[in-house]
Amino acid sequence: MNIKELLSAKTQAAMVAVGLPADTNTAVTQSTKLEFGDYQINGAMAAAKLLKTNPRALAQQLVEQLNLGDMADKVEIAGPGFINVTLSKSWLAQQLAGAAQNPRLTVSANPAPQQVVVDYSAPNLAKEMHVGHLRSTIIGDALVRCLEFWGDKVIRQNHMGDWGTQFGMLIAHLEDKLAAGVDLEQVALADLEEFYREAKKRFDDEAGFADKSRDYVVKLQSGDAHCKKLWQLFIDTSIKHSEEVYRKLNVTLSHEHIKPESAYNDMLQPIVDELKGKGLAVEDQGALVVFLQELADKEGNPSPFIIQKTGGGFLYATTDLAACQYRSHGLGVDRIVIFTDARQALHFKQVELVARKAGLLRNETAYEHAPFGTMMGEDGKPFKTRTGGTVKLAELLEEAVSRAAEVVKQKSTDLTPDEMAEVAAKVGIGAVKFADLSKNRTSDYMFSWDAMLSFEGATAPYLQYAYTRVSSILRKAGVDLGFSAPLVLVEEQEKQLAVKLLRFEETLQAVMKDAVPNLLCNYLYELASQFMSFYEACPILKEGVEPELKQSRLMLSILVALTLKQGLELLGIDVMEKM
């Protein structure tokens, strides 16, 4: 059920009936205040300009043509020509009937499933995953879950960085160790961070080491078997680290979703040749460059996009062009969404421009970079450990669970140790994820343990707790989630809760359109808060409540529980029956 879409279709019919073109913007929105009803039709104002008539008069004509049947109790014209629609309780109750038995709840069938590549997580191997990749992993996974629930076909691609210059450096360092007689088994690859640091130091300080590293990259990229063998060692260890994090984090990424940079290697030379052949790429100081006038700076200098380095090495950029070709032509997808931090915005603009010009991206494939801001510490600086090092994700998640255990212990006393451990894991991981997901994606966000583990405000614990509240009401009433009864909406709180439940699909649509899971977080928080007000105003278990009303209220509570559970699942957050 999508009330907004339904109202928009009905408004469109009314607009055609009064002589407006069929594509006139109906501008239907959810009302911002109760006094404006439940939905507003705002299209009359712009349409009146088009017809050069009075907007209020046009609104009046539209209302006369608007065929809402039993949907609305009241349709009112306000201000310069707003049309406020108040939905009827009986119609709302009808729309909710059967939702509890439907695995999609109030969400209708997807009329036009799309194929979508979601490129997310994508850590750079040879280093342990750090917080920079946390946001990509968490936000990307939420979008994937929403799209799949809606019925799109999602192809997850973990575009791991396994092919860059850092590998030349690592191989060079490893070679030197081996040459010095260190046994391969003894090289402490398990502590990749440390190994990386050593290599990086030599790269920066030691004469000749950088050149040697660059030679190794070219050797690796041209298929040298020995180099590849050493490289594989780093990759395997590093992937193991990442998978450990995915498991802890409860994200849906697994081994088969890894489509790393190296997978595109064979496509790189042909693409470079093609761009050269088409005259798009030109030689500049030994490198091959596409100059983009579209992205010129203020002085009019075109933006350079390097696709092959002096010496023949390929770049991150070249690989992204190959990925465009593979996804758009090979897989034939309708949409590509890529999650990385905002600093890569220019890169993806360049990739899209070049790929479109070169025909590597079909017009039918949408290409979307979904940037996100930096994760900040409570000191307002980029998130670091106390000693200034990068925070390892695996350790961060362990800390989340142990902090959650402390918080839960203070609140609940009747959990067994096993239950406690389970609740702590769900609350801890849920808190980290929700804190990230609930913020506006593009802003920087402040990582704060106390804020994310609070039971007040928009947090995972608050929502998980709301779910257990409903569960406990149901237990006391002796019914479970399979219980079914007709809905009778009497009080305003009941009606508002019904409207909110029926906005689940509208929320999902908005989340999927712009890859913004924070809207789902807001929705769930508001749903839970509205449930609390409903429960205060509308007794369920108290003596004297008429049986029909009691059953209807239980039914409403069940719909809230199921929607909370489903919504949190779409964010990758688990609920529990008690806490």
The footprint of ligand ARG (CB under 6 A) covers 119, 122, 124, 159, 161, 320, 323, 338, 340
CB of 122 to ligand ARG, least distance (A): 4
- Cβ 541 vs Cβ 38: under 8 Å: no
* Cα distance between residue 545 and residue 554, in whole Å: 12
DSSP 489: -
**For ligand ARG, the closer CB: 83 or 358:** 358
DSSP 280: S
CB of 458 to ligand ARG, least distance (A): 29
* Cα distance between residue 400 and residue 406, in whole Å: 10
CB of 376 to ligand ARG, least distance (A): 18
**For ligand ARG, the closer CB: 267 or 338:** 338
Sequence-ordered alpha helix ranges (H) in 180-291: 192-205, 209-221, 225-249, 265-277
Give the 3-state secondary structure of residue 251: coil
CB of 285 to ligand ARG, least distance (A): 25
CB of 432 to ligand ARG, least distance (A): 19
Exposure of 560 in the CB half-sphere (CA atoms within 13 A) = 35
* Cα distance between residue 71 and residue 33, in whole Å: 19
**For ligand ARG, the closer CB: 135 or 173:** 135
**For ligand ARG, the closer CB: 324 or 489:** 324
Give the closest residue to 406 by CA, choosing from 385, 394, 392, 420: 420
CB of 347 to ligand ARG, least distance (A): 8
Tell me the chain's radius of gyration from C-alpha atoms: 28
* Cα distance between residue 219 and residue 487, in whole Å: 70
**For ligand ARG, the closer CB: 91 or 339:** 339
- Edge-to-edge, what's the strand order for the sheet holding 335-341? 153-157, 115-119, 335-341, 366-372
CB of 138 to ligand ARG, least distance (A): 15
* Cα distance between residue 340 and residue 118, in whole Å: 11
* Cα distance between residue 251 and residue 541, in whole Å: 38
CB of 21 to ligand ARG, least distance (A): 41
**For ligand ARG, the closer CB: 13 or 394:** 394
**For ligand ARG, the closer CB: 119 or 506:** 119
* Cα distance between residue 515 and residue 509, in whole Å: 10
Query: Look-up: residue for tokens 């406690």?
Result: 420
**For ligand ARG, the closer CB: 11 or 157:** 157
CB of 579 to ligand ARG, least distance (A): 36
429: amino acid identity, one letter: I
Give the 3-state secondary structure of residue 487: coil
CB of 123 to ligand ARG, least distance (A): 6
**For ligand ARG, the closer CB: 238 or 340:** 340
Bridge partner list, 566: none
**For ligand ARG, the closer CB: 323 or 511:** 323
- Cβ 344 vs Cβ 374: under 8 Å: no
